[in-house]
Structure 1
Amino acid sequence: MSKLSYFLRLFTAFLLCAFSFIGFTAEYVGSKTCVNCHEDAYQDWQGSQHQLAMQHASKESILGDFNNAEFISNGKVNRFYTKGDQYWVNIEGPDGKFHDYQIKYTFGVEPLQQYMVEFDDGRVQLIPFTWDARLKSEGGQRWYDLYPDKTTTDEFYWTNTGQNWNFMCADCHSTNLNKNYNPETNEYKTTWSEISVGCEACHGPGSEHLNLTKDNKNTDTLSTSNFGFNRDLSKAVKEWVYEEGKPALQPRSIEKTDQVQVCAQCHSRRTQISESNDHVAGEFQDRYLLSMITPQLYHNDGQIYDEDYVYGSFLQSKMAEKGVTCSNCHNPHSAELAVPEEAVCAQCHSPADYSPEKHTFHEANSEASQCTTCHMPTTTYMQVDPRRDHSWQIPRPNLSELTQTPNVCTSCHEGESNKWANNSLKKWFPNSKHNNQQHFSVAFYASSINHASAGDALINVAQDSTQSDIIRASSLQRLAAYPSDKAKQALKESIKNDNDMVRIGAIKGSAGYAFKERWILLQPLLTDPVYAVRTEAAGALVRYWSALTVQQRAEIKKPLAEYIDIQMFNRDRGFGYTNLANVYRSQGKNELAIEAYQQAMKVEPIFINSYINLADLYRSQKQEIIGFDTLMKGIIAKPDSGPLNYTAGLSLLRQKQSQKAANFFKKATELTADNPQYWLVYGLSLENINLTTADYALNQAFKLSGNPEHLYARCDMLLKHQSAGVKAKACLEDLTPYAPANMMQQLKARLQ
């Protein structure tokens, strides 16, 4: 190394230390400053999904037909037209009348493009009509209604929160985004450095990089400082090596890199909890709370169900375990595959071992013989946007048969069964270790049907170190429904786990325990180094405020203040104010709680938890009538809510109005037909009103839950009524396999 290079490196290190010492903050300089030195990367970025993620509406950016085009949806004519250089739509607003709205921004380019309207209060909303940007031969070049069934009371109605750019979309579609929500005026003044996803969205602010390279373009001399950036976006594996007996190359070593965390900022299903915390210099969950593998987002075997944006799938995979990063497959600047699709997997997996004769058993070069067809199946979202599953599942039709999950074999061979597919795989791979039913999906499925063995199965998954961390965390989270001494021990061990997802899973899984047990479990996490972990622990424990000692309140004070900061940051959504109100209520500050619940209703009228929680607060104050009126306001705002109707029914039961209560319970079961609790309470409320319907409802509760207690409730009710003797006898026969002999003896003695 030359003396000049040496001194340059030394000087660079000195500068970085000095800037750190004096609190220097790098600034955003814009993608155009990068082109002179990084022309190839810049040209790759041009025209990419990142560069075109969001644009000002203009002749150059608009793809849709605004030439006085008309589109009929639900029998109503919507019009798309121009006024000079401006783009406008005439569509229905929340008042049921048609209005003219100016399109200010575009969203995306392929396979669809969305359009946004900006309102006077700073809200930017996505209109419901989307341009299908595919070729006409593929069914594109047309307008379509993205959510044709949504009404003004739905979250995803175009002027409601589900279609709000400021909260839902902005952080990922622009660079250096600041939401700037003002809760006093309920307005946004959202800002960005760059309207789309620019260079600094991934690399971080570039001013220091420019300063360090301004007089010396030989960036090799600056490598010790990541070229002036605080992020290392290199690949985790620098060398892949062959190992005897392994069908794929193995990493010589896996080094720490920030690349996946940077991509995960946008390519993940998560909730933002901070704008100031750095998810790269720190941990991902210092800034975002990641969604786990839940039934709402994933199938029982971890396949994508709802949109997960890749990261949650990727974390389940063997690829993540082996150190594969996004740029192993994708060009990070164009976002396209780095090499042709058929060659991507062959970078590590020997083509000789995965030939049609040895592995795919389908015609060579056919769609069925592609790696991605079987291991990365697509799910289509937004009607025209197929996205690949990045968990790289191995097709397991035997598990699909057991756990009611889809598989690629029968999705292609629609006329065949899972059994047929499983037999085929056994012929092709007779010695495969996957010819068994050992898989976390069995535990997740058992939990979904409330099987008696679900608790133990989830514990086994949670304690299995061979499982991915996100699966272990998700298993712990589901343990909340199955408290036991064994489960408590699993939670205790998981709280000490090095992975923050696992620790958060343990927090969620501890919900079923009494205060003293839960405090012992969660108290160590109040000082956890990861923001999401300590704040989630504080949020879980504050509900026991009245039972906390002076010392315990002192321990929870700092992380609770941070938890409150998160809710303050999210006061543009109903959940932010509602969580804040829950804290106030726990602390006995009921007036503040009532005010916060009411603010939640104002900010997001369709957020049902605010009505339910406020009604419960009124109930605790012996103001049942006011509580019921609150629930009715909620039902007016959100008439298709099963929980609101159910809770209103409970209120009427407490008011001794059984018939009216039964009507609300009936409505709840109609709106949420898969909830066994609603069917149970509906059935019990009808016992002295309509025994036949009551029997049907209780039977439905048991069918849905598999819970013997629901079957017992049905038998007990029938035994009270002599006219139901035959049904009661049949019910007892059904109950016999579940109940102890002495209990059955007592029940049978009641038969007339």
Structure 2
Amino acid sequence: MHQLKLKYSSLLGILFLFLLSCQTEKKETYKAIPKSEERPIFSSTKQIPDAHFLGDKKCKECHENQFEKWEGSHHDKSMDIATRETILADFKGEKFFSQGVHSRFFEKNGEFFANTEGPDGKNHDYKIEYVFGITPLQQYIVKFPDGHYQCLRTAWDSKKNIWFDLYPDFKVVHSEWLHWSRGGLNWNNMCADCHSTNVRKNYDQETHSYDTKFAIINVSCEACHGPGKQHVSDVATQGDNYRNTGTMQMTLETKPKELVDQCARCHMRREQISEKFNFEGTLLDHYYPQLITSPIYHADGQILDEDYVYGSFVQSKMYHNNVTCTNCHDAHTLERKFEGNKLCTQCHIKETYDTEKHHFHKNGTEGALCINCHMPGKFYMGNDFRRDHSFRIPRPDLSVKYGTPNACTGCHKDKDDTWAEAKFIEQHGKPDYTHFSELLAPGITNAPNAEASYRQLAKDTTQPEIARASAVIGLGAYRTQATVKELLSFLNDDSAMVRASTVDALNEINRPEYLNYFIPLLKDPKRVVRVKAFNALGSVKESQIPDDYLELYKKVAVEFETYLKITSDFVGGRVNRANYLIKQGDLKGGIKYYESALSIDPINNIVRTNLANLYYRNREFDKAEKAFKTIIEQEPAYGATYYSYALLLAELKRNKEAIVQMELATKYMSENTRVYYNLSLLYDGIQNYTMAEDALIRGLKIAPNEENLLYALAYLYQKNGQLDKAKNVTMKLVQLYPNNTQYYNFLQQLNQQ
């Protein structure tokens, strides 16, 4: 199945954080994060005028030392106008070939161009307008119609001084959303918010156009510290008596976790909630982080896809013991404060940890470096090596169980995980502490104890809130009464992240009796929780809202509409609006927005599958059939499409055609027993009892005790007068499911025939 590819990052040249713990106790414990301090329920959504940002030269007047450190940093060079001085690549006619695409880079009349494949599949000349980053790579941005700016897929390796493909092993066709000329590498929605200061995306869905603005082109002093106008005025009027009135951000008074949250705005894979970031409220008033799910993370929470550090760091003991970004990084150069193990021995006792008795590697070698065991990493965007910031102890035992990576075999590539586990036990003994990954991994890998593990982790308030929130999302897949009761209790959790994920989980279950639990969340202190609660209340009309919540409901309705608007240039944003309209009973409106989602990603077959099923529900059978045929043409090995298409054909009484499609479904999703059940019904419908029996027997070879298959087979035998066979199968049902009186009664009926 074509996957709904999640956002690729164009956040280049930002140095990622290497943060270490001050605690080394055996048991992995985490301090519960208390409920947010009382704040106004509705933080302001006002836009800060560009004139309130005075520019870096103004900051330099009083903060020359800090300015000199910042100048030339990755923040300073996050974005710039394309000139010979800012462009690092040669642009002297170099040619580059990758994934079937020929590109050429050249200079003409003092301007810089790339000749490469465009959205129509043909080569064109594109003028370079902006540059992104400095090292280890630099990207180039071109202007498209309607205010779109696009980042070229071919970038400049500023260490090797060569052109290279950001995704050399990934073929992308020109009509796909991930093509550089389309949504996947669009500057306006993928990059701008974090590469410039005071950004307004200004997207118009009706025209699919942008009018993106910013106050300052790069990550300036004021991008982190806030607009300087009031600060400069306060300094001028207060003189030596100056006191921060709260207008400045990221100061020496900022608490460690607050500082991490403020950095996280850009060092985090996330969903945007508010239209404008104006420094008011907290992180969860503006953004919601990507939780620990597959395929973004490995099953134990280690990095897999890009997570931009925050999602890893908040898993760590270091974060929960108030280690913050600036403990390891200079706040202005962004460089590490020390190289080698000296960085770690700021807190960890050198004589205990920086020794061969601890790391079992010869001092002075790569294996003796703390970061290589506790911060393994991988390359992203071709040549950008980033380390995992969850600072975990290697766990090869979990690698053996769940296939997760470990630092040991990451270096000792000639060895396997079993060797690593044995070596770890030999050197350190069996782990005598519990890490949250031992409860998370079973759920993500669908192990037999998945539900129980998720429940245990979700309830444990000593564990990181991102891990607990991720477990809650996992629990949403289960419908047992006990689990749902547990989920409802998390709506009052101290963690806003957990409350938000609980709403998402229950929203998926979508049972009317839960609605009364969501209404009180309309006054939650965090905008992200309010917005998610409003979405969950989608099937409720305004007239059904209690009078004492009606004013709140109307206010949150505005926040929810803003959220849908700000995400409407993404497929997911349009799908969210479609699903909300469907909850409201507007099926045609839902179909319209699913069609709209396909208009910006025409080969997204997750969306097309849902749309086909909506056409089916709306009895637009011709459109549904056309959609299924399109999916089959684009992805002929995706079995679920054949299954859904077969059900449609059966609805249209085209049973023979339906059988052809259902047989294909058994080929491409052979482990799904429901396919065999429906195939049997189709054969039965054309009175081909031999093939109906064959379909059920094929399914039972995969799942011998599958209840529905056994009952269907017993009924088929009874229907065709094969009573002995029917009795044998029914007796098995009675033995397997003794509490189901239906099977006992059916057996009695057979005995009387």
TM-score, normalised by the number of residues in structure 2? 0.81
**Stretch of structure 1 that moved more, 207-216 or 53-62:** 207-216
- Aligned with residue 95 of structure 1, among 103, 116, 120: 120
Distance in 1 between residues matched to 2:269 and 2:204, nearest whole Å: 25
Shift of 1:265: 0.5
The secondary structure found in structure 1 opposite 2:274 is coil
Give 1:240's aligned residue: none
Give 2:235's aligned residue: 213
Distance in 2 between residues matched to 1:152 and 1:23, nearest whole Å: 37
Distance in 1 between residues matched to 2:120 and 2:417, nearest whole Å: 50
Distance in 2 between residues matched to 1:81 and 1:456, nearest whole Å: 60
The secondary structure found in structure 2 opposite 1:205 is coil
CA RMSD after TM alignment: 3.8
Give 1:486's aligned residue: 482
The secondary structure found in structure 2 opposite 1:225 is coil
Distance in 2 between residues matched to 1:552 and 1:644, nearest whole Å: 47
Distance in 2 between residues matched to 1:697 and 1:41, nearest whole Å: 72
The alignment status of 1:430 with 2:429, answered yes or no, reads: yes
- Aligned with residue 185 of structure 1, among 198, 207, 215: 207
Distance in 1 between residues matched to 2:91 and 2:401, nearest whole Å: 51
Distance in 2 between residues matched to 1:24 and 1:157, nearest whole Å: 34
The secondary structure found in structure 2 opposite 1:502 is helix
Give 1:107's aligned residue: 132
The secondary structure found in structure 1 opposite 2:318 is helix
Question: Deviations along 1:483-507, whole A, 9 cap, x unmatched?
Answer: 3333233323321122210101211
Counterpart code for 1:320: Y
Give 2:276's aligned residue: 276
Query: Matched residues, percent identical?
Result: 34
The alignment status of 1:157 with 2:182, answered yes or no, reads: no
Which structure carries more relative contact order (alpha carbon 8 Å, separation 6+)?
2
User: 1:494-509 maps to which residues of 2 (within 5 A)?
Assistant: 494-509=490-505
Shift of 1:300: 1.3
Shift of 1:471: 0.6
Question: Deviations along 1:605-663, whole A, 9 cap, x unmatched?
Answer: 34556544544444333333333335556777888977666644543343344565566
Distance in 1 between residues matched to 2:228 and 2:629, nearest whole Å: 53
Distance in 1 between residues matched to 2:293 and 2:492, nearest whole Å: 23
Distance in 1 between residues matched to 2:239 and 2:633, nearest whole Å: 65
Give 1:247's aligned residue: none
CA 1:233–1:553 in 2, change beyond 3 Å: closer, same or farther?
closer
Query: Contact 2:500–2:529 (CA<8 Å) still a contact in 1?
Result: yes
Give 1:265's aligned residue: 265
Question: How many positions carry a matched residue from both structures?
Answer: 683
Distance in 2 between residues matched to 1:149 and 1:668, nearest whole Å: 27
CA 1:320–1:643 in 2, change beyond 3 Å: closer, same or farther?
farther
Give 1:239's aligned residue: none
Question: Deviations along 1:189-248, whole A, 9 cap, x unmatched?
Answer: 111111111111100111112222347775xx323435xx34243376xxxxxxxxxxxx
Distance in 2 between residues matched to 1:552 and 1:515, nearest whole Å: 23
Distance in 1 between residues matched to 2:210 and 2:266, nearest whole Å: 21
CA 1:287–1:660 in 2, change beyond 3 Å: closer, same or farther?
farther
Distance in 1 between residues matched to 2:253 and 2:697, nearest whole Å: 59
Shift of 1:742: 7.7
The alignment status of 1:387 with 2:386, answered yes or no, reads: yes
TM-score, normalised by the number of residues in structure 1? 0.81
The secondary structure found in structure 1 opposite 2:231 is helix
Give 1:305's aligned residue: 304
Question: Deviations along 1:660-679, whole A, 9 cap, x unmatched?
Answer: 55666688899xx7x788x4
CA 1:233–1:660 in 2, change beyond 3 Å: closer, same or farther?
farther
Shift of 1:28: 0.9
The alignment status of 1:222 with 2:261, answered yes or no, reads: no
Shift of 1:549: 6.6
CA 1:402–1:616 in 2, change beyond 3 Å: closer, same or farther?
same
The secondary structure found in structure 2 opposite 1:542 is coil
Query: Contact 2:176–2:601 (CA<8 Å) still a contact in 1?
Result: no
Give 1:583's aligned residue: 580
Give 1:171's aligned residue: 193
Counterpart code for 2:165: Y
Query: Contact 1:376–1:391 (CA<8 Å) still a contact in 2?
Result: yes
Give 1:536's aligned residue: 532
CA 1:331–1:549 in 2, change beyond 3 Å: closer, same or farther?
closer
Counterpart code for 2:582: R
The secondary structure found in structure 1 opposite 2:113 is strand
Counterpart code for 1:234: L
Give 1:406's aligned residue: 405
Counterpart code for 1:383: G
**Stretch of structure 1 that moved more, 194-203 or 40-49:** 40-49
Give 2:328's aligned residue: 329
Query: Contact 1:41–1:333 (CA<8 Å) still a contact in 2?
Result: yes
Give 1:346's aligned residue: 345
Give 1:245's aligned residue: none
The unaligned stretches of length 5 or more in structure 2 are 1-43
- Aligned with residue 605 of structure 1, among 602, 607, 612: 602
Give 2:623's aligned residue: 626
Question: Deviations along 1:417-442, whole A, 9 cap, x unmatched?
Answer: 323222222232237524xxx44334
- Aligned with residue 98 of structure 2, among 57, 64, 73: 73
Distance in 1 between residues matched to 2:275 and 2:397, nearest whole Å: 45
Distance in 2 between residues matched to 1:552 and 1:620, nearest whole Å: 37
Query: Contact 2:274–2:559 (CA<8 Å) still a contact in 1?
Result: no
Give 1:369's aligned residue: 368
**Stretch of structure 1 that moved more, 119-128 or 588-597:** 588-597
Counterpart code for 2:269: R
Query: Contact 1:403–1:441 (CA<8 Å) still a contact in 2?
Result: no
Shift of 1:568: 1.7
CA 1:562–1:64 in 2, change beyond 3 Å: closer, same or farther?
same
**Stretch of structure 1 that moved more, 374-383 or 90-99:** 90-99
The alignment status of 1:458 with 2:454, answered yes or no, reads: yes
Counterpart code for 1:322: N
The secondary structure found in structure 1 opposite 2:193 is helix
Question: Deviations along 1:298-352, whole A, 9 cap, x unmatched?
Answer: 1111101110000111111001100011011111211110222321111111111
The secondary structure found in structure 1 opposite 2:619 is coil
Give 1:146's aligned residue: 167
